[in-house]
Structure 1
Amino acid sequence: MNTSLMQYIKNSSLPVTLAATGLLFFTAPSFANDIDPPNTLLNVQHQWAQCQYQSENEDIKESCLEALVDSTQTLSTNSPQNTELKVWLAINKSTLAGAKGGLGALSLVKESKVLLEQAIKENPTVLDGSAYTSLGSLYYQVPGWPLGFGDDDTAEKWLKQALSINPDGIDPNYFYADFLLQDGRTAEARRYFIHAKQAAPRPDRPLADKGRQLEIAQKMKEL
């Protein structure tokens, strides 16, 4: 997920000029037709990491994420009982929202919120609590009422729930630390950033781990 998700919305004043999208000579692969079904989720995860951490510029990143959302939507529609794909469709939409910025991203995060809530109802521990991590992240990064649904108390509730399921994971520790940092609780934030930094590598997701570790290092400079 984009670590600066919706900060542009939260910090900007009306009216907001939406990010321009031009014709880009880039398309992400279509997963629906080109990959082995058992590897579908991993391919979605790999493509997310490529969009997030290897795009040459913001326009290419946005185009990459748009294609990925379309591909994941197709996969999820074709496999409606696959809760893992539902979570990743939500993650891809919220990451795209962060790349777009502005009020135009609000519909994407609202769609992401609905998908995550559905996933939690279907399987609360799906992907080691990733649905709770993502939902909590939305709640602290999205503006509050009347513009959005953001709420710090709810954010902390869901982020702690994610940690109860996966206490040593890099993502739940990172996002809870980021929440604490934004809440001014720097001593607590440092502890969770350090725990995230010490998380065991995920052999099947090296690019995502590398990108997250760089984000951890950057955040710790703010402490």
Structure 2
Amino acid sequence: MMTQFTGIRVNLATCLRSLLFLLVGAVAMPSLAQTAEQEVHDLQRHWAEIQYRTPEKQRADKLAALSEKASAVTARYPDNAAVWTWSGIIRASHAGAKGGIGALPIVKAAKADLEKAISLDGSVLDGAAYTSLGSLYYQVPGWPIGFGDDKKAQTLLLKGLEFGADDMDANYFYADYLFQQKDYAQAMAYANRAEHGPADLERPVASEGRLGQIKQLQAKIQQKLH
């Protein structure tokens, strides 16, 4: 009898351990998702502080350091589209702050990150990967220096607007693209949509900074319309 009960106790202990493993796994899975979300939030917050509240001469170095952090996050969450999107945005901003021919390898890395995000799920963050990639295509020089292409830019920007019709950034970048194309009436229409797009309450610095850029763009468009 003792042997039988011992066997029962062993089996029960094994079952309990298995159940505990499953429960821990069930808890760990959402925890990982929350951690990825928090890491994205941290990247967003640091980017906004650098982009809008850091002196221009200091931005390139700070964005370079933030790019390294973003690379570490993509290594931890290689299947997370939001992580790749923000890695691309940070690299693109770094390239813009650095400027010159030396920025081309950085902007190409940004392009690769954004394409990776789109391959995973281009709809995340209101289509931010499409919008950001589109902005690269109209701001980067064309062949043979870079990969710039206005038609490709428009296709990507419009795709971003499909996922974020009211998004402040999606409308701002399309307005800026139209301004570069000298379509001033349409540019103003999208700039006004951007101005009235909902602010991100979790990212007040970014929303405030983008609104300032929108107003600057509206002023430039207004000058062309008169």
What corresponds to 1:125 in structure 2? 123
What corresponds to 1:52 in structure 2? 51
The 2-side partners of 1:201 and 1:113 are apart by: 26
What corresponds to 1:147 in structure 2? 145
The 1-side partners of 2:207 and 2:42 are apart by: 15
What corresponds to 1:71 in structure 2? 69
Deviations along 1:18-43, one digit per CA (max 9) or x if unpaired, are: xxxxxxxxxxxxxxxxxx65421111
Residue identity matched to 1:50 = E
Moved over 6 A (4+): none
Q: Which has the higher contact order (CA 8 A, sep 6+)?
A: 1
Contact 2:172/2:194 (<8 A) preserved:
yes
Contact 2:118/2:129 (<8 A) preserved:
yes
SS in 1 for 2:78: coil
The 1-side partners of 2:102 and 2:96 are apart by: 10
The 2-side partners of 1:158 and 1:106 are apart by: 20
Deviations along 1:104-148, one digit per CA (max 9) or x if unpaired, are: 011111111111112111112121100100110000000000000
% identical equivalent positions = 42
- Shift, 1:173, TM fit: 0.1
- Shift, 1:210, TM fit: 0.3
Higher helix content, 1 or 2: 2
Show the 5 A alignment for 1:65-214.
65-214=63-212
> Which consecutive residues of structure 2, in runs of 5 or more, have no partner in the other structure?
1-34, 222-226
SS in 1 for 2:165: coil
Select the structure of larger CA radius of gyration.
2
The 2-side partners of 1:172 and 1:38 are apart by: 21
TM-score with structure 1 setting the length:
0.82
For these two proteins, the number of residue pairs brought into alignment is 188
TM-score with structure 2 setting the length:
0.81
